[in-house]
């Protein structure tokens, strides 16, 4: 089985993290995000994946290569410009087989694609959408189906006035090649959600209500939630299986004078000073420094980031090489790559510091 992964969005809502790291390879619990998707696809018989990307494409290729580390043959297709979710599928037409999967490249999931394929066979659908139940459908593609599973309504992001529970488009489709003939010419901009799905209603568009874990990681809050869910084993992943066995994953060469509270992932070359506490639900990338007496909890610090003595960091994402001084308090914040926060600063409530921006000592206070 073949899969086309849509990963050409700019990931604007995950900025400033995605200002310098392409969303598909943003590290999640120490591994490139898309590696989770490749593993999941592999478990459901996908042998070949085509990654449709644009923004920061070379960096994606550098990290994921030919996919051999993840057990899937991986190739790339680059649009001349972002063609939209439907345009990207049409653009890949020469490479696509009779039946293939299409996936939004920003979901962490373990839903049963094999069962979705079986449902697709059973109904004889042209296109089967995986559906997932959420409390508020308004920010997603909302879907209503008849008893036989055929889709009777698809509304993309109906807006907050339509908030309420229901089934949403989970961004995983089984597609028959025939769908491509219903789309505009290759090279034009097409939204699969706004243009293709509404047209297919009544002509072979079906839904498959999936169970299991599903999350779109496209905002800092959801990125942290995804991290927690991997560490807490709420989603089935290879990393989670290793954590289940070991409690925390700590590289051999970590210099540890403080404590690690499970679950945590601490990568190569980290230094954790005297009396410092790292965890729970915390991920430190390679070469992260945590000063004496500091406390890092419910947070992610990416490669080379550092935090000074007696600082506290909670529910935050600290980008690669970002530096935080001594005695700082950082909560619900995101620092981009190489950003800096001087000593004795307080950063709270959704603050974001962009890559390379350095704030002097005591710059931000409550
Ligand atoms: N190649 C390519 N070209 N990929 C694109 C383009 C494009 O022009 N535009 C978006 N993508 C990719 C994104 O990188 C992402 O992986 C995926 O398509 C979905 O785009 P998002 O921008 O993340 O969409 P969304 O999250 O607002 O909404 C979509 O996903 C929801 C589930 O997470 C829709 O499909 C909704 O209907 C769905 O509920
Ligand atoms: Mg998304």
Give the number of the ligand closest to the Cα of residue 130.
1
Note whether residue 241 is domain-resident. Answer: no
Q: Indicate whether 212 and 87 sit together in one domain.
A: yes
Q: Indicate whether 266 and 217 sit together in one domain.
A: no
Q: Over its length of 366 residues, how does the chain's per-residue pLDDT go in tens digits?
A: 999 999 987 778 888 887 788 888 899 999 999 999 999 999 999 999 999 987 667 888 888 899 888 889 999 999 889 999 999 999 999 999 999 999 999 999 999 999 999 999 999 999 999 999 999 999 999 999 999 999 999 999 998 888 899 999 999 999 999 999 999 898 899 999 999 999 999 999 999 999 899 999 888 999 999 999 999 999 999 899 999 888 899 999 999 999 999 999 999 999 999 999 999 999 999 999 999 999 999 999 999 999 999 999 999 999 999 999 999 999 999 999 999 999 999 998 888 888 888 887 776 665
**Which of these is catalytic: 15, 44, 99, 157?**
157
CB of 169 closer than 6 angstroms to any ligand 1 atom: yes
Distance 213 CA to ligand 2 centre (A): 16
Q: Indicate whether 150 and 263 sit together in one domain.
A: no
CB of 137 closer than 6 angstroms to any ligand 1 atom: no
Domain that holds residue 335: 247-359
90 classed as catalytic:
no
Note whether residue 92 is domain-resident. Answer: yes
Nearest atom in ligand 1 to 91's CA: 1
CB of 109 closer than 6 angstroms to any ligand 1 atom: no
Question: Distance between CA 219 and CA 72 in Å, rounded?
Answer: 27
CATH number of residue 312's parent domain? 2.160.10.10
Distance 243 CA to ligand 2 centre (A): 27
Note whether residue 237 is domain-resident. Answer: no
Note whether residue 21 is domain-resident. Answer: yes
Pocket of ligand 1, candidates 85, 96, 103, 143: which has the most ligand atoms within 8 Å of its Cβ, to mutate?
A: 85
Distance 25 CA to ligand 1 centre (A): 16
Q: For the chain, what is the domain count?
A: 2
CB of 307 closer than 6 angstroms to any ligand 1 atom: no
Distance 216 CA to ligand 2 centre (A): 6
CB of 303 closer than 6 angstroms to any ligand 1 atom: no
Q: Indicate whether 158 and 266 sit together in one domain.
A: no
Order of strands across the sheet with 271-272? 255-256, 271-272, 289-290, 306-307, 323-324, 340-341, 358-359
Beta bridge partners of 109: 214
- DSSP assignment of 8-44 equals -S--GGGTTGGGTS-GGG-EETTEEHHHHHHHHHHHT
Question: Distance between CA 81 and CA 94 in Å, rounded?
Answer: 18
């Amino acid at each position: 089985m073949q899969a086309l992964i849509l990963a050409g969005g700019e990931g604007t809502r995950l900025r400033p993290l995605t200002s310098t790291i392409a969303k598909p390879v943003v590290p999640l619990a120490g591994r490139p995000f898309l590696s989770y998707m490749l593993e999941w696809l592999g478990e459901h018989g996908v042998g070949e994946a085509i990654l449709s990307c644009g923004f920061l494409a070379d960096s994606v290729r550098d990290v994921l290569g030919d996919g051999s580390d993840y057990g899937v043959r991986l190739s790339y297709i680059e649009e001349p410009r972002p063609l939209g979710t439907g345009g990207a599928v049409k653009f890949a037409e020469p490479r696509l087989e009779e039946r293939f999967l299409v996936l939004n490249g920003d979901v962490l999931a373990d839903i049963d694609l094999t069962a979705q394929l079986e449902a697709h066979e059973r109904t004889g659908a042209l296109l089967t959408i995986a559906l997932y139940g959420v409390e508020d459908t308004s920010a997603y593609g909302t879907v209503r189906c008849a008893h036989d599973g055929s889709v009777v309504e698809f509304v993309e992001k109906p807006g907050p006035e339509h908030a309420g529970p229901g089934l949403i488009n989970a961004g995983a489709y089984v597609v028959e090649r025939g769908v491509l003939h219903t789309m505009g010419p290759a090279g034009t901009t097409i939204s699969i959600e706004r243009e293709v799905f509404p047209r297919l209603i009544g002509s072979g568009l079906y839904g498959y209500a999936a169970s299991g874990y599903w999350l779109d990681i496209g905002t800092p809050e959801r990125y942290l939630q995804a991290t927690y869910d991997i560490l807490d084993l709420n989603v089935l992943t290879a990393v989670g299986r290793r954590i289940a066995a070991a409690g925390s994953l700590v590289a051999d060469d970590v210099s540890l004078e403080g404590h690690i509270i499970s679950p945590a992932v601490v990568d190569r070359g980290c230094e954790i000073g005297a009396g410092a506490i790292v965890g729970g639900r915390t991920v430190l990338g390679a070469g992260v420094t945590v000063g004496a007496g500091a406390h890092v909890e419910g947070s992610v610090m990416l490669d080379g980031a550092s935090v000074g003595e007696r600082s506290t960091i909670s529910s935050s994402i600290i980008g690669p090489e970002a530096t935080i001084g001594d005695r700082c308090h950082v909560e619900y914040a995101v620092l981009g790559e190489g950003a800096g926060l001087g000593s004795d600063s307080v950063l709270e409530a959704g603050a974001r510091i962009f890559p390379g921006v350095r704030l002097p000592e005591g710059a931000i206070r409550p």
